Amino acid sequence: MSSQKPPSSAGNNLDPWYANYAERTAGLAASEVRALFAVASRPEVVSLAGGMPAVSALPQELVIESMNRVMREQGSVALQYGSGQGVPALREQILDVMAMEGIKASADDVVVTTGSQHALELVTKLFIDPGDVVLAEGPSYVTAMVIFRSFQAETHHVAMDAHGMIPESLRENIARLKALGKKIKFLYTIPSFQNPAGVTLSWERRLEVLQIAKENGILVLEDNPYGLLHFDAPPPPALRSVEQEGVIYLGTFSKTLAPGFRVGWALAPHAIREKLILANEAAVLSPSSFSQLIISEYLDTIDWRAQVDRFRGVYRERKEAMIGALTEYLPNLEWTDPNGGFYVWLTLPAYLDSKQMLPRAVKELVAYTPGTAFYADGGGRNNIRLSFCYPTPEAIRVGIRRLQNVINGELDLLETFSATGPLDTVRDRNFSAPPPNLD
């Protein structure tokens, strides 16, 4: 790609500073998820798009009591600058949270950040030079790819199936990229209830993935926002529980408490931790003392494990409502059936394009996220991410029924302009789905 920039007077660009921006800003673009929020926030639209937690399931009085105690007893500290590493008491409590994933660690190696996405941005800033490679599951978290692209990294996808990342695909990708002379900086993975696919990396594969990474000198970046939100059996222990020096673990309170506090963390090997603290201070000086102390007070005085269990019940009910509605209204399509987290990954017939269908969906008052948002290479056109975390079970059923109307309308349109071909076989609306992406 040429490094030449057009002069500020070129074309019809109305930004007088267009020619002055750094080259890396070319990677900054609104994600398809973000672009949906304006539409999805309309009350008449059933949004199955964004991954917003059900904060209504959190009793507000619990948070209010924590806030009041913090202001009464630690107000001068809460409203002041703090440490670039985070409040020591909260870092100790984070160890208890991670222990539920099998992790044993020292509070000295925990760095509190402004949400786990901030930690992801800091790690990327520390490791990525233009042209470096990040390996990530295909599909992968949309905003992670926005971050990687903003630092001019190449994202290459590792195939998944119903048991998570396929180790052989990881080996093949590493060998191919090394043969091309590419520099692989880290492997980014969401091993438990993955976003967007909802699948979980099996224990055997976790061990194999770690071994492959170790053999090839590749750092693993383990993002785990959903690990505690299981419906039946918990997922296997975290990758970080097995490997300490080769894994950076990212956690957050956004899914198990509330995203508005914007508090996450990174658990990193000692040398990386030191650089993370410096990067954190350079970016925000210090994470919010106010938010950290409220969460610390909450963890200290409330039965937070019981509250996490309450969230599990809410999300289990909503997941079951979505699977039930898909079974009723779209029985011949394929989808994942997660045992936790927020998402179902739907596979359409190969000749349908979920991104092109989106305007019709908005007209039908239902929103979803097209599968293309989760691939760096344009894949996922016949996939849809459906989020069950925010709508009520009743709204989910309405949304899936409207989605059925969208797909029917798209098939009608395609059949109108296709005299022959595979569409002739699906006039009964059974959809005759192709092999699913994740099965």
Average pLDDT, the chain: 90
Residue range 160-177: mean pLDDT, rounded: 97
CATH code, domain with 276: 3.40.640.10
Residue range 98-102: mean pLDDT, rounded: 97
Residue range(s) defining the domain that contains residue 311: 22-57+307-425
How many domains does one find in the chain? 2
Q: Is residue 436 part of a domain?
A: no
Same domain, 314 and 244: no
Distance, CA of 355 to CA of 343 (rounded, Å): 18
- pLDDT at res. 42: 74
Q: Concatenated DSSP letters for 159-227? A: EEETTEE-HHHHHHHHHHHHHTT--EEEEEE--SS-TTT-----HHHHHHHHHHHHHTT-EEEEE-SST
Which domain-ending residue is among 301, 322, 355?
301
- pLDDT at res. 328: 97
Same domain, 189 and 315: no
What does the pLDDT look like over 102-153, one tens digit per residue? 999 999 999 999 999 999 999 999 999 999 999 999 999 999 999 999 999 9
- pLDDT at res. 425: 45
The answer to whether residue 426 scores a pLDDT higher than 50 is no
Same domain, 164 and 181: yes
Residue range 275-303: mean pLDDT, rounded: 94
- pLDDT at res. 23: 81
The pLDDT > 70 percentage for the chain reads 89
Kindly report which listed range (41-50, 268-277, 323-332, 353-362) carries the lowest average pLDDT score.
41-50
Which domain-ending residue is among 256, 271, 301?
301
Residue range 327-339: mean pLDDT, rounded: 96
What does the pLDDT look like over 411-421, one tens digit per residue? 888 877 765 45
Same domain, 189 and 336: no
- pLDDT at res. 434: 37
| Confidence band for 38, pLDDT divided at 50, 70 and 90 | low
Q: Is residue 387 part of a domain?
A: yes
- pLDDT at res. 25: 80
Torsion of Cα atoms, 308 then 311 then 315 then 318, to 10°: 160
- Whole-angstrom CA distances from 117 to 108, 138, 307, 337 are 21, 19, 23, 26
